[in-house]
Chain A
């Protein structure tokens, strides 16, 4: 039986088998509107239909389906340093019902990192990436554009993503590393869990990283991400947290997307609420700077702070055009 997976969403990929296996849930026409992909998947999996039917396909079957039913082409890929406002950017984009916004999808992370788990020929790896992005980009009704926000560590797979999707615009979202570290130390993200995200992605062995303090490791991650972004800056539009939310509109215009009054109003309304929690937003930059202690400032001063300044200085396009 040939699967017709229109309306279905891949929610995980097992890259172990020779032909990796995708698991699917049905969205029943819903859009992906939660701050994170995983939340939308959780909502979908609670549907009785998805409890009843455990649907899995080999990667090759998914590719064949997509060849017959062309998905959305990616409009842009969003890279970021974590705790920097990228989720708010994704949520602003999701206010437009024409935008499909996939925020940190686990299946894409799994295929980007597949070469760390198994041998795979480069061209085959690119096919997997194209298939998974295509499967994630099957439009719900009304959707015409596809934005994919990656995990923060996925900048390590940027070259592969570029090879799979040459010319697709990139956005880098960053923030003063002092403020990022304050957030990470209060509530560490998965990035900080060496067992979950290999330290090798940030240029240090896991064996060495586990001997470091959380402050040192968090600062090292920021420096590694920001340096890599600086190497790739010619490829990207860069927005700093301090420029949000105003910088999103001009970026969309740069992409050739018209932001009409209704779309602007929807984004303005969403920007009054926190990107992740949805509660009332308050600018916490000053508070985070105030509570950053000497250890955090010293760790950031080693490399992350200079890397952040270097990235912003190297960008070729202003985030917000001069008035």
Chain B
């Protein structure tokens, strides 16, 4: 994951409850990634589709580790 760009988007989401609420309600991964890329573009953060794929893989691993 491109640490700086993705972290900037995450920090923006965590500081913006309305944005977090809207994104959290998206049940489809592709739709969510498109929305996050649009948000990154709007906020000037350097985030690619590959960054999001990596973050989702890391998230899946976190979830598995939690349940194992």
Query: Does B bind A?
Result: yes
- Residues on the A chain within 8 Å of B20, using CB: 7-8, 26, 49
B26 to chain A, nearest CB (A): 7
How many residues does chain A have at the interface if contact means C-beta atoms less than 8 Å apart? 24
A28 interface residue (CB < 8 Å to B): yes
A126 to B4, CA, bound (A): 36
Taken together as a complex, chains A and B put the C-alpha atoms of A8 and B66 apart, in Å, by 19
- CB of B8, distance to nearest CB on chain A (Å): 9
Is B52 in contact with A4, judged by CB distance below 8 angstroms? no
Give the residues in chain B near A54, CB-CB below 8 Å. Answer: 10, 55, 58-59, 62
Most buried by A among B15, B20, B36, B67: B20
Q: Is the CB of A50 within 8 A of B14?
A: no
Given the complex, which residues of B lie within 8 Å of A8, measured CB to CB? 20
Chain A residues lying within 8 Å of B67, measured Cβ to Cβ, are 42
Q: Does B38 contact A (CB under 8 A)?
A: no
Closest to A11 in B: B66
Interface residues of B, dominant DSSP: helix
Give the residue among A3, A5, A47, A51 with the most B Cβ atoms within 10 A.
A51
Q: Complex formed: what's the CA distance from A26 to B23 in Å? A: 10
CB of B23 to closest CB in A, whole Å: 5
B26 touches A48 (CB 8 A): yes
Q: How far is the CA of A53 from the CA of B28 in the complex (A)?
A: 15
A52 adjacent to B52 (CB under 8 Å): yes
For the complex, what is the distance from the CA of A54 to the CA of B13, rounded to whole Å? 11
Across-interface contacts of B59 in A (CB, < 8 A): 50-54
| Cβ–Cβ contact A4 & B17, under 8 A | yes
Evaluate contact between B10 and A45: CB separation under 8 angstroms. no
Contact B24 A50 (CB under 8 A): yes
Which one of B15, B23, B63 contacts A1 once the chains associate, using CB atoms below 8 Å? B15
A115 to B43, CA, bound (A): 43
- Closest beta carbon of chain B to A318's beta carbon, Å: 43
When A7-B24, A28-B25 are in contact, do A45 and B13 touch as well, CB less than 8 Å? no
A57 shortest CB reach to chain B, Å:
8
- State whether the Cβ of B68 lies closer than 8 Å to any Cβ in chain A: no
Specify which of B16, B23, B29, B56 is in contact with A4 (CB 8 Å cutoff): B16
Contacts of B25 in A (CB 8 A): 28-29
| A120 located at the interface, meaning its Cβ lies under 8 Å from any Cβ of chain B in the complex | no
**A51 lies within 8 A of B21 (CB):** no
Cβ of B13 and Cβ of A53 under 8 Å apart?
Answer: yes
CB neighbours (8 Å) of B29 from chain A are 48
Chain B residues with CB under 8 A of A4: 14-17
The answer on a CB contact under 8 Å between B15 and A45 is no
Residues in chain A within 8 A of chain B (CB atoms): 1-8, 26-29, 42, 45-55
